Amino acid sequence: MNAPRSLYAASAETMLRIPGDPPMRQSARDLLDNGELLQTARVTGIMAARRGADYLASIRHAELTSVEVDFQWRDDALIITTHCEGFSRANLGSRALLAASLCALTLVDMLPDFGAHIVIDGARIVGQKGGPQQFAYDFDPPLRAAILVTSDAVLGGHKEDRAGASVRAGLEKMAAFGVHLVEERIIGDDAGEIARTVRAWVNERVDLVLTVGGTGLAHTDVTVEAVDAMLERPIPGIMEAARAYGQSLTPLAFMSRGVAGLIEDTLVITLPGSRGGARESCEALFPSILHVFQTLRRARALR
């Protein structure tokens, strides 16, 4: 099973300007309007974007789904715009800029009579978007989050709380979106205490509760049963997405029994108790999970 992938996009532009008297500029424009010249430059730009590593030593692999090149006149300048889409943000803007620059150089090379006069100007990345970061989250009032680690071994001091630390680190990265960690607690593998703690946080209007541990197959793993019995509106797709992501990294992610859903307006997510499983679940769900709260707040505003 492959992990869900996010599509990214980047655009860049540069321009060709031909200084000189009007007859010279018009003559150059007549040549640049030649469809064959522009098509040659377009193919060069597309190849440059797709084979960026042949030109830039530091560029990383990017699986591109499309590369587009557009030419448009603006006053006496030919504007070259490139647009790249792919499943990796890495160097995507650089690829788009490389494509635009090599398009311009190709045209200069094919216009030898004007080469000494043509100016390549304004090369820049004009936009990057996509992936989980494409959603602009800024919660005011802030979202209140809590972490509940359920482990007899951690509570007794026999095991370091590395999974909880991974989840805490994931939450800290979302502070810029308006997510605040208000409480963190460690308890044992006790279904009754788990349920009481989660219910108390729901009553205190905590927005997001992340439990860590108790999602495996051992008889002491009771977090899933405790939380599942409380859910009023299960959201199975949340943990399906986390398991799909984990399965792409390890063949054993399917063994996690985690569940997620709403209790009143509190979102509860049961995360694995292993450091790797907890970290990968956060990578799969953050910050996209915040869209749940955006939807809830919109719905409340319409009541």
What's the CA gap between 67 and 217, in Å, rounded?
47
Please say whether the beta carbons of 206 and 181 come within 8 A: no
Q: How many CB atoms are closer than 10 A to CB 200?
A: 13
What's the CA gap between 258 and 242, in Å, rounded?
9
Prior bond of 236 cis (ω within 30°): no
The single residue of 33, 54, 109, 121 carrying the catalytic annotation is 109
What's the CA gap between 244 and 195, in Å, rounded?
27
- Catalogue the E-assigned strands of 232-288: 233-234, 260-263, 266-271
Residue 266 main-chain phi, psi, to 5 deg: -100, 125
What's the CA gap between 151 and 112, in Å, rounded?
74
Longest dimension (CA), the chain: 87
- Beta strands 208-212 and 64-74, pairing class: unpaired
State yes or no: is 76 an active-site residue: no
What's the CA gap between 3 and 11, in Å, rounded?
26
Q: What are the residues whose beta carbons fall under 8 Å from the beta carbon of 224, sequence distance 6 or more?
A: 214, 215, 257, 258, 259, 270
Q: Which stretches of 12-124 are DSSP H helices?
A: 22-32, 35-50, 92-109
Active site positions, annotated: 109
